[in-house]
Structures are given as structure tokens and as C-alpha cells.
Amino acid sequence: MARFTQSKLIYGFYRLAGVLVPRIPPAIGYPLFALIGGLVHRLNGRARANVRDNIRHVLGPDAPQAQVNRLARATFNYVAYNYYDLFRLPTLGADQVEAMVRVEGWENVEAALNLGKGVVMTSAHFGNIEIVLYAMLMRGVAITIPAERVEPPELYDYLAALRMSKGLKLIPVDGPMLELFRTLRRGGVAGVAGDRDITGHGTIVEFFGAPARLPDGHVRLAMRTGAPLVLGFSRRLGRNSYEARFWPHFSIPAEGSEEERLAAGMAYVVRGLEEVIGRHPEQWTVTVPIWGDPAT
């Protein structure tokens, strides 16, 4: 009963935020959500330890602990900023979003789409991934992505509605993936995150010099369909401005064993993840352990 009541309270909080937050201008909203990020950083010891451990792996063992702690604290701000952006997203017009985002490498997406097999877009929980998606949606590209379920179900439905308010299509990550194949057949984009293995069935790779299990569904999808892989990352330039950057596409080799082809695709993705996350680890908004639970 207590868990049910807690879930309902969380859902009610999100719904209230969805009403109030769009009324808060950025000059007030971002500082307010920075305070919320600081509160979560202080109170959620497990998430704080996870973020510090992830950043430690990115920076390397010789990085000063003070630097790790400072960047980890900033990560919680970026997580909070993303929620502020999500709550106000349905109220933003296309011209407002366009003014907030600087797009680089769009010609790489067009070149991949021109191959006629759709595109498997891979990114990370970095910056604000929604920005990459909406930069594409505003240019007429259909996008379908799997999304992790959250409890209660009403909260999942509500957050999905916020994210789909600009035309994005979401499907549950633990459900059938047929819609991804259909999207590709229609010449659209199937978007799959490459940095967090939610299902636990990914591939172990060297990631920042240590073995980590990363998702491989994006690579396997490209292998099955022949669709090219494209990396797309966002970066927050300021509190209310972003960069969306798209890399040249990578086609999975047609020759070789399944393991070799998978390894080639994963190598392309890991190189991109390491380059982008390595430059700005504080914008990597993953609060779960990637290399194992630091508390164990």
C-alpha cells in the first residue's frame, strides 16, 4: 500500500510540474532546477556514487578526486535541466526550438537516408538527446525509439506523451521491436541509445580502457536490415542553447562472421561515445553504474 501511495504521489508531482514548469521562464527555471539537482546530489548517495564512478572511468585513475566530485555535481544539474526542458517542450514552437539548436553534419544524415534503407541512429544519454531527435523531426524525418518503462504505468504514459508531443514515436523497450523494422522500411530513423544496457543482453567491450557491457541492439538491427549506422550527439552550449552533431554513416561490412561484423559496428559506436563523453563527461547524464556497481 505504501509503495502504491508513493507511486501515485510521484505521478502527481510530475503532472503538477507539467502544468507549472512551462510557465516558468528560462531565466528562473534553470537556476531553480539547478537547486533541485543539488538537492538530489546531496540526498541520493547511490546515484552520486554511480556518477562519480562513471566519471572516474572516463577521466582515468590519476584524475584528482576533487575534479571527479566537481564534474559529478555538475551532472546532476544537467539531469535537472533536461527535465525542465522536457516539461516545457510541448509549449515550444518549431521556431523556438530551431533558435535554440545549432545543427552540424546534417549532410551526413541526408547521405545515409539517400541509401534508401532508413537509418539506425545511435546516441548517448549526453547533453539533451531530445534535441537531436527534434532537430531531425523538424526536418521531416520520421523517428521511432524504444523507451524504458517507469512506474507507475500512468507516469510512463505521461512522460511518453511529453516526448511525443513533437512527432516522435516511442515504443516500450521490453516490447516487440517490429515498429523499428517498419520505420526503416519506410525510410525513417530507428533511434537506439548506445551507452546503457537496459536489457542486460549487450556485448562486453573495452570502454575507456575497461570492460563494460554496452547495448548492441542498434548494431544487430543494422546487420539485419542493411541500414547504415549514424551517430548523433547533442551538447548543451549554455543553459538554453544546444549543438546537435551528426557523424558520417557507417555501413556494417557484408563479409565476415557475425561476431566480426558485430565487432566492427560496436567499434564505430564506442569510438564516438569515447570521443564525445571524454570531452565533456559532466554532460553524460547516466546515474546508474556502467562498469559495475561501485557500492559492491
Query: Considering just the CA atoms, what is the radius of gyration of the chain in Å?
Result: 19
pLDDT score for 148: 87
C-alpha cell, 2: 505504501
The answer to whether 166 and 137 are in contact (CB under 8 A) is: yes
pLDDT in tens, the chain (296 residues): 555 577 788 899 999 999 999 999 999 999 999 999 999 999 999 999 999 999 999 999 999 999 999 999 999 999 999 999 999 988 888 888 888 889 999 999 999 999 999 999 999 999 998 877 887 888 899 999 998 888 888 988 999 898 888 889 999 888 888 999 999 999 999 999 999 998 888 999 999 999 999 999 999 999 999 999 999 999 999 888 999 999 999 999 999 999 999 999 999 999 999 999 999 999 999 999 999 877 55
Question: For residue 5, what pLDDT is reported?
Answer: 72
Contacts of 269 (CB under 8 A, 6+ apart): 122, 194, 214, 218, 219, 229, 231
pLDDT at 93: 84
**Which residues, including other chains, have CB under 8 Å from residue 84's CB and lie 6 or more apart?**
21, 24, 29, 30, 32, 33
Q: What angle (nearest 5°) sits at the alpha carbon of residue 38, between those of residues 294 and 133?
A: 80
Looking at residue 215, what is its pLDDT?
95
Cα(39)–Cα(144) distance, integer angstroms? 34
Q: Residue 5: which residues within 8 A CB-CB, separation 6 or more?
A: none
What is the pLDDT at residue 7? 78
Contact in structure between 73 and 41 (CB atoms under 8 Å): yes
Residue of 58, 44, 40, 7 lying closest to 291 (CA atoms) = 58
Contacts of 22 (CB under 8 A, 6+ apart): 87, 88, 90, 91
The reported pLDDT for the residue numbered 294 is 73
Comparing CA positions, the residue from 241, 26, 208 lying closest to residue 127 is 241
- Please say whether the beta carbons of 253 and 264 come within 8 A: yes
